[in-house]
Structure 1
Amino acid sequence: MTTTATHLRTIALHWADLHDALGTPPLVDGFGKGLRGYLAALEELNPDQLAYERSQALLDRTLERADSAPDAPGERPIPIRLHIHATMRIVEAALIACADDIARTTQRAPITAPSARRTAIAPYRTQREADIAAADRARRAQLAHADLTDPRRWRYTGRRTAPHAALWLLARVERKPGPCRPITDTEEHRIGTVAAGAADRIERALDIAAQRRTLARPCSDCGGAIDVHGGEGRAPVAHCTGCGRIWTEGGVVAA
């Protein structure tokens, strides 16, 4: 079973790969890409997968229309892969929003810096007392500054990136020390849902995970279940578990 921590590590580790893939043309169609037209024509995608594919296709077409307009600024043809760019935007927005929400409920406020004593109203009785008070104030100011700038603290400005959010959420899931209380089961479930969705998008975009799905419609010849295998750079293949028939992009290759 894939854990939330594994999903968050996947996001952090492969974010640089997404940046690299932005300007790299695809070498092999990924899962759901090469067979997409064939399977859509047969209407054999399960409802959840079909809805995902349609939403992704709509997003890609919207971005392409916006960037391919004759008066749109920038280089033509478009020098980046739009589906990678869309994946990065969606994943980063989801992770940052999740980290913002978790920080609001779990992260304590920074320690308040000490204020100077108004000696005109309450003067020190001796120089030694003044020196002790000044040293204590300096120590508390140093602690307040260290707490404010603690790298384990989530910030609402500055470095707000997907990998940084993933690693901060990972620390919360693993109950690492920091200026936060331990997260609740509900908060952990929220992080898990976001992390799983983000990791799935990244793996789909980079085609780095082996995938298998069973189609909703059975084989027209024998009524057996049809499994689709793909991912990891391989062209997708559909296989009937009943009669053994195999389909690829070119049609039936074995029966």
Structure 2
Amino acid sequence: MTTSTAATQLQQIARHWPALDDALGDRTQHAWPPPQLRDYLNALERDELDDPTAYLAARRGLERSPDQLGARPVPINLRVHDTMRPVEAALLDTADRIARAVQRHPMQPPAPARAATAATRAERLVWEDRARRIEQARRDAADPRRWHAAGPGRTAIRAALWLSGRAASAPGPFRPLTDAEHRHVAAIAVGALARIENVLDLADHHRELTASHPCACGGTIEIYGGAGAHPVARCQSCGAIWSEAGVIAA
């Protein structure tokens, strides 16, 4: 995957996130897969797109969350919720990891000094230089391009945009990503965007089922759907077709 591809995918994640917030309260949203095709689609290797380390860490974090305890009413779309939680956790965890590796530490201001009156031009220059270095360090620490491990800016949207900047080698108090770091960010971008497009029904699905789930004739079954299209399954050998309503051609 190229640098521009990963950066673009992370920007798409940020653009789609408000739609996820809107869909979170829609309990009537149609789910993929439809019930008649779910057994087939469960055979797909969905985790092949993910960076396993990041998502396992995200799952462990969610398992420890107090929100997981106790029964409560469900006024939200659980399918959207179960997509947003691990994706957001993975984005934040990845931003934390990448920031620790590539983000330069803030400049250190000069050591405190007792106030004194500058009696000579040389002394005034010394104090002016000290004031300049204090202001430079303050601005560097407050640089809005920095990623912070705590604070109100820790959102999925900002994490996606910050990681997009790193993937695109945008300027700032950072070093460029190594090839390994770029691959890690790219894997997170691919997996997160796939989950989001799937739950929002934006992706054009076209997958073959594994050999352990063949058609009755022994042929391989293909799944089509998404992006507004009604999902169907079709056998490549005998041509049988299944829709949400069941078998429509055999």
TM-score normalised to structure 2 length: 0.81
Secondary structure class of the residue paired with 2:225: strand
* Structure 2 Cα separation of the partners of residues 4 and 50 of structure 1: 18
Cα RMSD, aligned residues only: 2.8
Change over 3 Å in CA distance of 1:102–1:50 after alignment to 2: closer
Q: Is the 8 A contact 1:29 1:235 kept in 2?
A: no
1:46 corresponds to:
43
Please say if residues 227 and 239 of structure 1, whose CA atoms lie closer than 8 Å, have aligned partners that are also in contact: yes
Is the alpha carbon distance of 1:163 and 1:67 closer, same or farther for their aligned partners in structure 2, counting shifts above 3 Å?
same
- Does structure 2 conserve the Cα–Cα contact (< 8 Å) formed by 1:94 and 1:194? yes
Partner of 1:212: 206
Structure 1's 44 and 173: CA in aligned 2 closer, same or farther, altered over 3 A?
closer
Asked if residue 110 in structure 1 is aligned to residue 106 in structure 2, the reply is yes
Separation in 1, partners of 2:181, 2:158: 18
Letter paired with 1:35: Q
- Give SS of 1:236's match: strand
| Contact persistence 1:29–1:233 (CA under 8 A) | no
User: How far does the alpha carbon of each residue in 1:171-194 deviate from its partner, in whole angstroms, 9 at most, with x for none?
Assistant: 111111100001100000111111
Q: Distance in 2 between matches of 1:44 and 1:79?
A: 27
Alignment check: 8 A CA contact 1:228 1:236 kept: yes
- What is residue 232 of structure 2 aligned with on the other side? 237
Residue ranges of structure 1 left out of the alignment (5+ in a row): 53-61
For 1:115 and 1:245, the matched residues in 2 are separated by: 78
Alpha-carbon deviations, 1:10-58, whole Å to 9, x = none?
A: 211101001111111334333x234344xx2xx6753524999xxxxxx
Alignment correspondent of 2:220: 225
Aligned to 1:213, the other structure's residue is in SS state: strand
Query: Which residue number corresponds to residue 36 of structure 2?
Result: 35
- For 1:196, the aligned partner's letter is V
For normalisation by structure 1, the TM-score amounts to 0.79
Q: Provide the secondary structure at the position in 2 that maps to 1:113.
A: coil
| 8 Å CA contact 2:34, 2:244 repeated in 1 | no
Instruction: Please tell me whether the aligned partners of residues 34 and 235 of structure 1 are also in contact (alpha carbons under 8 angstroms).
Output: no
Cα distance in 1 for residues equivalent to 2:36 and 2:192:
23
Whole-angstrom distance in 2 between the partners of 1:33 and 1:130: 78
Q: Is the 8 A contact 1:212 1:229 kept in 2?
A: yes
Offset of residue 119 of structure 1:
6.8
Query: What letter matches 1:16 in structure 2?
Result: P
Question: How many residues of Structure 1 are paired with residues of Structure 2 in the alignment?
Answer: 229
Q: Which one has the largest radius of gyration?
A: 1
The yes-or-no answer on 1:142 pairing with 2:135 is yes
| Residues 128 and 152 of structure 1: CA distance in aligned 2, closer, same or farther (over 3 Å) | same
Could you say if the C-alpha distance between residues 50 and 228 of structure 1 is closer, same or farther in structure 2, counting changes exceeding 3 Å?
farther
- Pair 131,230 (structure 1): closer, same or farther in 2 beyond 3 Å: same
| 1:117-150 superposed Cα distances (whole Å, 9 cap, x missing partner) | 4478xx96x4322321221112111111111111
Once the two structures are aligned, what percentage of the paired residues are identical?
A: 45
Contact 2:106–2:140 under 8 Å retained in 1 = yes
For the residues of structure 1 that align with 2:41 and 2:131, how far apart are their CA atoms?
70
Structure 2 match to 1:168 = 162
